[in-house]
Amino acid sequence: MYLGGNLAPGRMGEDHEVVLVAAGSIPDARAAAKKKWRGVSRPHVDAVQRIEVLDGHRVTLSATGEPDLVETDDTYNP
């Protein structure tokens, strides 16, 4: 999900964030994504991407009961 929302007061433009969710339907995914928003205002969904097969591999999920574990590499490499 590609979320958008207003910036903090005094700033112009819009803030954006990409979040991953697992859901049984697009409406459920939209609701779950909005709950993960870390911005200062109420978010909206700018785009949805449903992934079932990626680079020739079927994506499957299994419940673990563990919390989210997401790693982000924010190094800039042009």
Dihedral sign for Cα 71, 74, 75, 76, please: positive
Rounded to whole angstroms, how far apart are CA atoms 2 and 57?
Answer: 23
- The pair of structure tokens assigned to 23 is 């859901």
Q: So where are the chain's domains?
A: 2-58
DSSP 13-29: SEEEEE-----SSHHHH
Is residue 45 classed exposed, middle or buried when 0-12, 13-18 and 19+ CB atoms within 10 A define those classes? Answer: middle
Asked if 49 contacts 26 with a C-beta cutoff of 8 angstroms, the reply is no
Query: Residue 44: its pLDDT value, please?
Result: 95
pTM of the predicted protein model: 0.77
Query: Residue-wise pLDDT tens for the chain (78 aa)?
Result: 999 998 888 888 889 999 999 999 999 999 999 999 988 888 999 999 999 999 999 999 999 999 999 898 999 999
